[in-house]
Structure 1
Amino acid sequence: MITDWHTLNHGPSLPGLYARAATRRKITGTTLPRSGLRCWLNVDPKRLEAYRKVCGFVDNGLLPPTYPHILGFALQMQLLTAREFPFPLLGLIHLSNRIQVFRPMGGVSRVRVSVQVHNLQPHAKGATFDLVTTLDDQLGSLWEEQSQMLCRGVKLDGEPVEEVLASTLAMTEIARWTAPSDIGRQYAKVSGDYNPIHLSAASAKLFGFPTAIAHGLWNKARTLAALAEYLPAANIEIAMQFRKPVRLPSEVTLTASAPGSSGDLQLLGAGDLEHMVGHWRPVA
């Protein structure tokens, strides 16, 4: 697919995008736009420090592997609330997330962030598409993220094809922590992601959840922070599937295989409830 790139002079303003998202409640089509957005952005040291604190990352001189998602979030919001995008942003479900780190992300201060959507596919509950975000510096590609999103109620021709990540390696408990009742609000402050399902029980109930749930990307970031000594700093792909949401507050347990270039992991709740499964591998 050839993308029609639009370059912005500065990052979008989130309040206006949230207002736009709140007024879009209907599915308006079944074709994804071919346009993408690009913008050169600076890394804010104070925001990065706050993000590390909320997610548990130590300052090792590198951008955390999930931090570029934060840099691209406003561009993602602008793309997904554009008039030509056919699905309402509120109600989209994040099914899986795949990150590739091509080079060590040390000394990164100014980057070009690009976002686009593609790969519309039928799903048993609607349709999925991939939201792709990339990070480049003056030397070329640094990082790429592919988030698979589900829009319920979309009707597409064809048979659903669903990839299922399965653990094949022996795993042991690595860490356990409590996701506090206010972690959704804490993460929203450092990420810009103020989805109501994460903020409070009252706002989550408006969207069918009995209580607030943790952001999937906070679960992933907190997991990678706990696995910092297990993972290579670059030439790594980290894939996660989000299974059952982490209701707030909850205690979770991280299990993983041995350190190395490849490995498997699980994030479990009470009664071995599977919240998240994933693996890391060298970039293909």
Structure 2
Amino acid sequence: MSIEWHTLDREPSLPGLYARAATRRKITGTQLPDDGLRCWVDVNGQKLAAYRKVCGFADDGLLPPTYPHILAFALQMQLLTAKDFPFPLLGLIHLSNRIRVLRPMGGISRAQVGVRVHNLQPHSKGATFEVLTTLDDQLGPLWEAESQMLCRGVKLDGEPVERSWETSQVLTQVAQWTAPADIGRQYAKVSGDYNPIHLSAASARLFGFPTAIAHGLWNKARTLAALADHLPKANLEIAVHFRKPVRLPSAVSLLASAPGSSGELRLIGAGDLEHMVGQWQPIA
């Protein structure tokens, strides 16, 4: 499929996009748009420092491996609330996320973000698609990611194909932390992601959750911050699958294999409840 790229001269404004998302509740089709959005963005030092603090990253002079998602968030919002996007943004479920750090992300003050969607597939609960996000500097590609999203209630022909996510290596506990009751609001302030399911028990109940749950990408960011000494700084692919949500507040434990170029991880809660599983490896 050929992509028609639209280049914006500035980042979209989030308040208007949230208003658009709030008024769209219906599925309007089963075909993804074949265009993408690009935009140059500036890296704000104060915002980056606030993100590091909320997610637990040390200031090592590099962008955290999850930070390009923050730079791309407004562009993703614009794409997923456009008239030709067929699914309502509110209610989408983030199933998995794969990040590839192609080169060390140091000394970056300005970069180009690109976003598009593809790979619509049947699922036992609806349909999945992927949001593809890229980050480039003047030298070329730096980083890329795929986020698999589920839209419930979509009817597609074909047999659902479920991904297998199992750990096979010996894992030991490397960290523990508490996700406090207000971490959804803290993360929203540094990410722009004010999805109601993360903000309070009252707003989460409107979408069928008994209490607020942590952002999936906060869980991943907090995990990668804890694994900073385990992971290479570049030529790195990190894939995770989100399983049971982290209800707020909750204590969690991170298990991982030994430091190295490849390995596996599990984020678990009380009673060995599995919140997230994943692996890291060199980019093929």
Q: Where on the TM-score scale, by shorter chain, does this alignment land: which range?
A: over 0.9
In structure 2, what is the equivalent of residue 110 of structure 1? Answer: 110
Whether 2:54 is the aligned partner of 1:45: answer no
Question: Quick one: which amino acid aligns to residue 246 of structure 2?
Answer: V
Question: Quick one: which amino acid aligns to residue 56 of structure 1?
Answer: G
Partners of 2:270 and 2:181 in 1: CA distance = 16
List aligned pairs for 1:159-198, cutoff 5 A: 159-198=159-198
- Cα-to-partner distance string for 1:94-128 (whole Å, 9 max, x where unaligned): 00000000000000111000000000000000000
Partners of 2:74 and 2:145 in 1: CA distance = 15
Question: Quick one: which amino acid aligns to residue 137 of structure 1?
Answer: D
Question: Quick one: which amino acid aligns to residue 153 of structure 2?
Answer: G
Q: Percent identity?
A: 77
Partners of 1:203 and 1:246 in 2: CA distance = 16
Whether 2:276 is the aligned partner of 1:276: answer yes
3-state secondary structure, aligned to 1:41: strand
- Cα-to-partner distance string for 1:147-170 (whole Å, 9 max, x where unaligned): 000000000000011112111110
Question: Quick one: which amino acid aligns to residue 62 of structure 2?
Answer: L
Question: For structure 1, which runs of at least 5 residues remain unmatched after alignment?
Answer: none
Question: For structure 2, which runs of at least 5 residues remain unmatched after alignment?
Answer: none
Whether 2:234 is the aligned partner of 1:234: answer yes
In structure 2, what is the equivalent of residue 30 of structure 1? Answer: 30
3-state secondary structure, aligned to 2:41: strand
How does the TM-score come out when normalised to structure 1? 1.00
Deviation of the 1:8 alpha carbon: 0.2
Partners of 1:227 and 1:188 in 2: CA distance = 23
3-state secondary structure, aligned to 2:40: strand
3-state secondary structure, aligned to 2:275: strand
Partners of 1:26 and 1:76 in 2: CA distance = 19
Question: Quick one: which amino acid aligns to residue 86 of structure 2?
Answer: P
Partners of 2:227 and 2:137 in 1: CA distance = 26
Q: How many residue pairs end up in the alignment?
A: 284
List aligned pairs for 1:3-18, cutoff 5 A: 3-18=3-18
Question: Quick one: which amino acid aligns to residue 76 of structure 1?
Answer: Q
How does the TM-score come out when normalised to structure 2? 1.00
In structure 1, what is the equivalent of residue 135 of structure 2? Answer: 135
3-state secondary structure, aligned to 2:85: coil
In structure 2, what is the equivalent of residue 99 of structure 1? Answer: 99
Partners of 1:157 and 1:166 in 2: CA distance = 28
Partners of 1:78 and 1:164 in 2: CA distance = 31
List aligned pairs for 1:121-160, cutoff 5 A: 121-160=121-160
3-state secondary structure, aligned to 2:71: helix
List aligned pairs for 1:250-261, cutoff 5 A: 250-261=250-261
Question: Quick one: which amino acid aligns to residue 58 of structure 2?
Answer: V
What value does the CA root-mean-square deviation take over the aligned residues?
0.4
Deviation of the 1:205 alpha carbon: 0.3
Question: Quick one: which amino acid aligns to residue 68 of structure 2?
Answer: P
